[in-house]
Structure 1
Amino acid sequence: MAGFSPTSTGFSDALVILGAAGIVIPAFARFKVNPVIGFILVGLALGPHGLGRFTPRQPWLFHATISDPHAIEPFAEFGIILLLFAIGLELSFKRLWAMRAKVFGVGAAELLLCAGVIGGALALAGEPASGAAGLGLALALSSTALVLPMVGTSGPVGSSAFAMLLFEDLALVPIIFALSAMGPTAGGGWAELGQTLLTGGITVAILLIGGRFLLPPLFAQAARAKNPELFLAISLLVVILASIATASAGLSPIVGALLAGLLIAETEYHTEVEVITAPFRGLALGVFLITVGMSIDLAAIGAKWMELTLAVAGIVLAKSVVTAVLLRLSGARLGVAAETGLLMSSPSETTLIVLGTAQAAGLVLPETAAFWQTVTAIGLTITPLLARAGQDISKRVERRTAKQADDAPAPSGKPRVLVIGFGRVGRLVADMLATHERPYLAVESDVDAVARARSEGYAVLFGDASRPEMVERLHLGEAAAVVLTMDDPVAQLRLTRRIRDAHPDLPIVARARDASNAAQLYRAGATDAVPEQLESSFQLSEAVLTEIGVAVGPVIASIHDKRAEQRAEIMEMGGMSEAPKERGRRMGEGLTASHHPPRSC
């Protein structure tokens, strides 16, 4: 090939990047090191401030280092575009509209308050007012490229982070124009901003209308061709054209990428598009992280380690506190607010763009911009560590809150059903009890499941029922019955024996995996054990019989008889006599007839 040489800069850099993705990163994964940190460390080690500085003296290092960091920056930008495209694929216009209050409420407040706190602190430290405003806006931004891949866009933390990050991405262009207009040599900046917003709005409207009509038939033709390469080409073409359109209108290209994802998400082809573009998205995002690592100069950090440490700590503290307080005031749980605050506390890749704009506008000096660029690089590097710290703090906070609730005494005079384990089965039992206005209290050892259930209105306490002291605090003597829905059969048998020994007359209804497990539970003292396999067979039989025209009444009667027959066989396997069976039946009838307390919530 003419003009191609295996020693060329592009070939060498591509070899290093692919080597990092295919060899170094799996090695980090083997030792359970976050891939984000792995890519950043690769950029740090192989970039111009790492081994790259020794290339003039050791020419062979040319093939193991990245010699031209600026040449791979377009690929890094493409990685961010593909990330926003993937986020759009996971959304819908309906969900986006439902989030509008959170995006323009909490999101706007988070950006402006963080910028105000940081900018105010810098102004007090001696930075000019205009420069402090520019730095505050730049450092208030958080990293979409790092945060969302770690937490997604669903769940309490993910949805809160996404709402704030989405507002920041939308506000990026107005921030850039505003800083340009604030410069000492600016002229007509605000008019230009208005013109850009108008042009951008028209462009977005054209993309939305055109995409609605053009994308479904376009992807339909690609699907009929049954050619994965064609499907991939069309997918990348759509996202690139949308990004170019919004960039040409003066908006950020990531806005176009997000719109492209949203439009494709409304079609039936979104799953295939998401799967087929995933490898490119991961590799391109890895290139972005490598560029972050290449921007870190350990020598410069060592020379100003005290100032940089204080700056990073100040930014993280200010942003985490402001974000957590805002989320808490908006109704988020304390654990969610704390985790989201730490997750959003480091600067962003777009911080570097805003810093460059502020420097070009004459708002900050070049050495000041360089200092905060280093702070940003350090902040991006420690983002996974902050995310992990946020998760740990959130679990501790939720666990402490749950334990405080555990201390609440049982309501006297109101026998309630205790549901041990609050997974899929426990939740359904609680729903049925609530439907029939029977009070209940569920106990679950997974603090995240407890938090989710409480937010949905269920009466759930955090606790490990396998501990004897926990069982003593459940006031079993005042319970109407106990339902065991635990996944661990060994712990379930042990708990059944403990409850039966302490409370001989208490009804114990246990979930069993199969007939053998049910027989073990009967021997341990369960009043009734329900095998999941048999119940699914009964439901299947009922569905088949009714579908082929058998009357519902005879079907239910026959299933009831068959269930009683199977239960008798299982109890005989467990060595149970007729007397305990009759006792269990009478206790069940007594539970149905005698207790009519109000519903628990």
Structure 2
Amino acid sequence: MSTILQNLLFLLATAVFTVVICRKIKLPPMLGYLVIGMVIGPHALGLIPSSEEASHLAEFGVVFLMFTLGLEFNLGKLTAMRRTVFGLGLSQVATMLIVVCATVVMLGLSWQIGVALGAAMAMSSTAMVSKLLTDRNELNTPHGQNAFGILLFQDLAVVPFLIMIPVLSQPGEELAVSLGFAAIKIVIVLTLLLWLGQKLMRPWFNLVARQHSSELFMLNILFITLGIAWVTELAGLSLALGAFLAGMLIAETEYRYQVEDDIRPFRDLLLGLFFVTVGMNLNFAILLTEWPLILLLVVALGPIKVALIAGLAKLFGNSPGTSWRTGFALGQGGEFAFVLLALAAGQNFMPSGILQSTIAAIIITMLITPFLIQHADKLVLRLASSEWMNLAANLHQIAVRSMANSGHVILCGYGRSGQSLGRILHSENITFFALDLDPEKVREAGAAGESVVFGDAAKREVLIAAGLMRARALIVTYSDTHSAMKILEVVHQIRPELPVIVRTQDDSDIDLIKNAGAAEVVAEIMEGSLMLASHTMMLLGVPLNKVVRRIREVREARYQMIRGFYRGTHEDSDESDRHQARLHTVQLTQNAHAIGYTIGELGLSELGVEVRSIRRKNLASVQPNDDFQLQNGDIMVLLGVPEDLAAAEILLLQGK
């Protein structure tokens, strides 16, 4: 017992360490689990012997993975994307299966090995690709939709493969009978489970939910998931298939999202253990002798699979650029490949060398994928000559639409926050120009007369075409630190004096974004808490003017940009607005008068102007004192009324 506990504690410690490192370097944790398993396994350092108990426990990770996959199974989604899912997705899986199977048979191996390898190599990593595309805001792009549709069909194709692979080891005359018998069993089990499940699942969950007990709800989820998985295993099918059916049944109830949140910790923990055990099973002695086969499999999973998917996408009417991007996104093995290979290994018809080599090749391609997707744009420009024309046409369209704008605000992202901000700017007669990567949203907003075009705001040429050199300000309306940092880098290179306001989810990245040159960072949690506080105080009887004053004080302490704006709640007329203090940026060019002077020597305070901050290249924004000496290229953020700001700008650039 102490040895088992010791091994478990060591696995948990390495898992924590692995996840921390992977998050630091922005790689999926599953890759870290695989590498850790390879290092600590019996074929490397031997810190943990490969145990049957750990393998059984890891199987439950696959069960919960298939359960969450069933939760995401949505008939409406399948119907809306049927051409991509059942057209492009089916073509990809079938073609990869046929090509791999034919190649294996030509090499003199059995067709059973070809089917198992083809099924495994047809899979791509749903978890990795969806995360990488989401991080890059590319999930709603044409190639993102293609990748999502193909991944959805791959996930569905796992179900028949789970039924087929366990019977492949049987003799030829018995194989057809076994497959037919398995098909009959699955029809009976599916009919009973889906027919009875549809009638019983919602009333049963309603009964459990009415008890208002979170632990009872969690126990019920585990009971339903493992119970249906046990029923399918008794029927001679797999645990994973039963878990998938359980997820499908619960997906039709209103408890789907609650169940998904509750089950995620179990799934992630056990699935991590599954990947560790996969890595532990890698035999390095075999890998050293089978390196030519590993190299061949990496090529098959990399360039050949990428080219195959790109060719199929082109046949389905996609542009060359979209086709190649789809291929680059899916040119790797996936987590379900390990499931299918583990199933094949248990049937004893897969040679150990081929099994080990295939697992190694899948791991290598998964390690390469983040870098491949990151540089996909450069690769596409080299491979697809028409992409230059498409890029030029898109930039031309953006430039034409933005040509009439000067002194406008560029909105990066036109989701709910961007649209709300756009309406407010429009009501104040402030021109804005929005960029968004959702083609459907752009089409609908454009048809309604909104000033929005399709474009990636993180790209230099797109921002220039959107009128970056003529803009008054730039707002990042979506919460994505990685994209915001890329935008800030472009703005800092081209228009360092342009104020940029960035939206973020919480306070964790505020310093990072401000140091990159953002004029202000607005945290959603901060603003949400202020609204909660204001409503709470009013409900408790605190006078309105006191509530307004308190919220104003908090905002002035938090946001430098709005200090000086809240000087009275009754001044609403245009005349009073004209005398309100406001911010203005001045960049000190090469021949500016103020270069070499200190803030105190210039006497800006005598003009009624306050220096709020100074941004200097390669340095974070600073709040200067009177002894701060100005240099060429400094960007000064001034606070004052319009007349005083005009006088201060003349003083800084030309002198008295």
> Does TM, scored on the shorter chain, surpass 0.5?
yes
Are 2:76 and 1:94 equivalent residues in the alignment? Answer: yes
Equivalent residue for 1:11, pick from 5, 21, 38: 5
Quick check: 1:327–1:337 contact (8 Å CA) kept in 2? Answer: yes
What is aligned with 2:375? 393
What is aligned with 2:253? 267
1:512 is displaced (CA, Å) by 12
What is aligned with 1:122? 104
Deviations 1:487-527 (CA, angstroms, capped at 9, x unpaired): 4999999999999xxxxxxxxxx9999xxxxxxxxxxxxxx
Are 2:55 and 1:66 equivalent residues in the alignment? Answer: no
Aligned residue identity for 2:187: G
Equivalent residue for 1:21, pick from 2, 10, 15: 15
Quick check: 1:232–1:276 contact (8 Å CA) kept in 2? Answer: yes
CA distance, structure 1, for counterparts of residue 39 and residue 163 of structure 2: 36
What is aligned with 1:405? 393
CA distance, structure 1, for counterparts of residue 323 and residue 432 of structure 2: 23
Aligned residue identity for 2:356: T
- Structure 1's unaligned 5+ residue stretches are 53-63, 361-365, 500-509, 514-532, 541-560, 581-601
Aligned residue identity for 1:66: P
Quick check: 2:58–2:271 contact (8 Å CA) kept in 1? Answer: yes
CA distance, structure 2, for counterparts of residue 496 and residue 24 of structure 1: 40
1:297 is displaced (CA, Å) by 1.2
Aligned residue identity for 2:250: I
Residues 32-111 of structure 1: pairs in structure 2 closer than 5 A: 34-52=28-46, 64-68=47-51, 70-111=52-93
Distance 1:568 1:99, change over 3 A: same
What is aligned with 2:290? 304
Aligned residue identity for 1:176: I
Deviations 1:433-492 (CA, angstroms, capped at 9, x unpaired): xx9xxxx99575xxx84878778776345577989x975x67899xxx968552499999
Counterpart secondary structure, 2:331: helix
Quick check: 1:405–1:461 contact (8 Å CA) kept in 2? Answer: no
CA distance, structure 2, for counterparts of residue 232 and residue 413 of structure 1: 54
Quick check: 2:66–2:244 contact (8 Å CA) kept in 1? Answer: yes
Residues 135-154 of structure 1: pairs in structure 2 closer than 5 A: 136-142=117-123, 147=128, 150=131
Residues 108-507 of structure 1: pairs in structure 2 closer than 5 A: 108-124=90-106, 126-128=107-109, 130=111, 133-134=114-115, 136-142=117-123, 147=128, 150=131, 155=140, 156=144, 159-173=148-162, 175-176=164-165, 179=168, 185-330=171-316, 331=318, 333-334=322-323, 336-344=325-333, 348-353=337-342, 355-356=344-345, 360=349, 369-396=351-378, 403-405=391-393, 408=396, 415=404, 420-424=410-414, 428=419, 442=433, 444=435, 449=437, 459-461=453-455, 484-487=473-476
Counterpart secondary structure, 1:66: coil
TM-score (norm: length of structure 2): 0.61
Deviations 1:202-261 (CA, angstroms, capped at 9, x unpaired): 322332333333333433343344433322211111111222233344444323222322
CA distance, structure 2, for counterparts of residue 344 and residue 485 of structure 1: 40
Quick check: 1:143–1:350 contact (8 Å CA) kept in 2? Answer: no
Counting helix residues as a fraction of each chain, which structure ranks higher? 1
Aligned residue identity for 1:127: G
Distance 1:248 1:108, change over 3 A: farther
- Structure 2's unaligned 5+ residue stretches are 382-386, 447-451, 477-483, 504-526, 535-570, 583-638, 647-656
Distance 1:114 1:173, change over 3 A: same
Deviations 1:6-49 (CA, angstroms, capped at 9, x unpaired): 24xx4343333333334554455456564222222222222221
Aligned residue identity for 2:280: M
In percent, how many aligned pairs have the same letter?
22
The two structures, once aligned, show a CA RMSD in angstroms of 5.0
Counterpart secondary structure, 2:412: coil
Aligned residue identity for 1:372: I
Deviations 1:394-436 (CA, angstroms, capped at 9, x unpaired): 344688757533663866999578763332379639998xx9x
CA distance, structure 2, for counterparts of residue 355 and residue 454 of structure 1: 47
Distance 1:90 1:112, change over 3 A: closer
Distance 1:327 1:167, change over 3 A: farther
Deviations 1:293-319 (CA, angstroms, capped at 9, x unpaired): 111111221223233223332333322
Aligned residue identity for 1:422: C
CA distance, structure 2, for counterparts of residue 128 and residue 51 of structure 1: 33
Once structures 1 and 2 are overlaid, which stretch shifts more, 488-497 or 247-256?
A: 488-497
Distance 1:108 1:415, change over 3 A: same
Aligned residue identity for 2:361: G
- Report which structure shows greater RCO (CA 8 Å, sep ≥6): 1
CA distance, structure 1, for counterparts of residue 16 and residue 493 of structure 2: 48
CA distance, structure 2, for counterparts of residue 196 and residue 24 of structure 1: 40
CA distance, structure 2, for counterparts of residue 140 and residue 39 of structure 1: 20
Distance 1:233 1:116, change over 3 A: same
Quick check: 1:104–1:167 contact (8 Å CA) kept in 2? Answer: no
CA distance, structure 1, for counterparts of residue 576 and residue 241 of structure 2: 61
Aligned residue identity for 1:6: S
Distance 1:315 1:387, change over 3 A: closer
CA distance, structure 2, for counterparts of residue 203 and residue 228 of structure 1: 31
Quick check: 2:581–2:642 contact (8 Å CA) kept in 1? Answer: yes
CA distance, structure 1, for counterparts of residue 240 and residue 40 of structure 2: 28
Quick check: 1:76–1:285 contact (8 Å CA) kept in 2? Answer: yes
Distance 1:326 1:428, change over 3 A: same
CA distance, structure 1, for counterparts of residue 303 and residue 345 of structure 2: 24
Aligned residue identity for 1:288: F
Aligned residue identity for 2:115: G
Quick check: 1:421–1:486 contact (8 Å CA) kept in 2? Answer: yes
Counterpart secondary structure, 1:296: coil
TM-score (norm: length of structure 1): 0.66
